[in-house]
Amino acid sequence: MTLLQRVLMPVATDEDAVETCAALQPHLDDVDRVIAAHAIEKAGGGIDKAPMGKREEDAREMLDIVDARLGDETDVRTEIVYGTDIVDALFDLAVETDSTSVVFVARKGGRLVRFLSGDTSMRLVTEAAVPVVALPREQ
Supply the DSSP string of 45-82, one letter for each residue.
Answer: SS--SS-HHHHHHHHHHHHHHHHHHHTTTSEEEEEEEE
Sheet with 132-134, strands from edge to edge, namely: 75-83, 33-41, 6-10, 101-104, 132-134
Point out which residues pair with 82 in neighbouring strands.
40
pLDDT digits (tens, 9 = 90+) for 57-106: 999 999 999 999 999 999 999 999 999 888 889 999 999 999 999 998 87
| Whole-number average pLDDT of the chain | 85
Q: Is the pLDDT of residue 48 over 90?
A: no
Asked if residues 7 and 33 have their Cβ atoms less than 8 Å apart, the reply is yes
* Structure confidence at residue 116 (pLDDT): 37
Name the CATH topology of 6-134: Rossmann fold (3.40.50)
pTM: 0.84
Alpha carbons 26 and 45: distance in angstroms, whole number? 43
* Structure confidence at residue 73 (pLDDT): 96
Kind plus residue range of the DSSP H or E element containing 10: strand 6-10
The domain ranges of the chain are: 6-134
